Amino acid sequence: MIEHILHIWARGGWVMWPLLGVCLMLFLVGLRLWLDLSRRQFRRLPDPQWQQWVRQPELAEGEVGEIIRYTRAGRSGEEISQRFAEVAAAELPAIDRRLSTLSALVAAAPLVGLLGTVFGMLVTFQALAAGGGGQITEAMADGISQALFPPEVGLCIALPGLVLVQLIRRQKQEFEAFLARLESYTVQYHRKTLPPEGRSAPPAPVSEPLTVLTPVNVPA
């Protein structure tokens, strides 16, 4: 069975082996990133739970707990927002780099298949140029097989890859939305718990009437 599959795969020419490498790398990177994001704690954490952790950071657990304890150490709303920006800067670029690699592999799969089409057409034209006997039919069949099979396989690899890219982008957006909600709730709770002397008091009303200066008549 395996020998038959390898024989069919080899009919597509030498381009099929780089295409196999692109396929393995694509699904290895994509599935690993998808599983990593699927297992993140924020996806299975109910809102009342992390809101309680914001109010009581000593009870926080896991990855979200570390984020809460780090950001709650801020002494002002601006410092808390700055710490959330640092968390986003530490987490999101790594996801973006792996997502960019995955997108490049998805785009490379049909291009490698198209390269197989070019070499297959060259083999076909060489068979036509050689001519003579029944060998030309076999050579043309090999050339057509090399021209059609690689792009078909490349498209079959790229289409599931596109779905995987969209799923990962959606998970990334969910993580960004969670960080935004967590930041908003943390800042609001911090401002709510400030002592009265720590809040900015409104300006006191002016008790004395304003003096309106009138122009002085200068004698001619």
Closest CA relative to residue 36, chosen from 1, 63, 4: 63
**pLDDT tens column, 100-144:** 999 999 999 999 988 888 887 877 777 777 665 556 777 777 777
- Mind listing the pLDDT tens digit for each residue in 56-90? 999 999 999 999 999 999 889 899 999 999 999 99
User: What confidence score (pLDDT) does residue 152 get?
Assistant: 87
pLDDT above 70 as % of the chain: 81
pLDDT in tens, 136-180: 777 777 777 777 888 888 999 999 999 999 999 999 999 999 999
> What was the pLDDT predicted at 117?
84
Confidence of residue 26 (pLDDT cuts 50, 70, 90): very high
What is d(CA 168, CA 30) in angstroms, rounded to the nearest whole number?
A: 8
The pair of three-digit structure tokens given for residue 154, joined into one six-digit string: 């490349």
Q: Are 109 and 157 in contact (CB under 8 A)?
A: yes
Degrees, nearest 5: CA angle 103-109-112: 135
State pTM to two decimals: 0.76
Give CA–CA dist 170/99, Å, rounded. 12
Q: Is 42 left (phi over 0), alpha (psi -120 to 50) or beta?
A: alpha
What are the structure tokens assigned to 85, written together?
């920006």
Q: What is the enclosing helix (H) or strand (E) of 34? A: helix 16-38
How many Cβ atoms from other residues are within 10 Å of residue 14's Cβ?
A: 12
Residue 203 DSSP symbol? P
Give the chain's length: 220
What values do phi and psi take at 11, rounded to 5? -65, -20
Rg (CA), the chain: 33
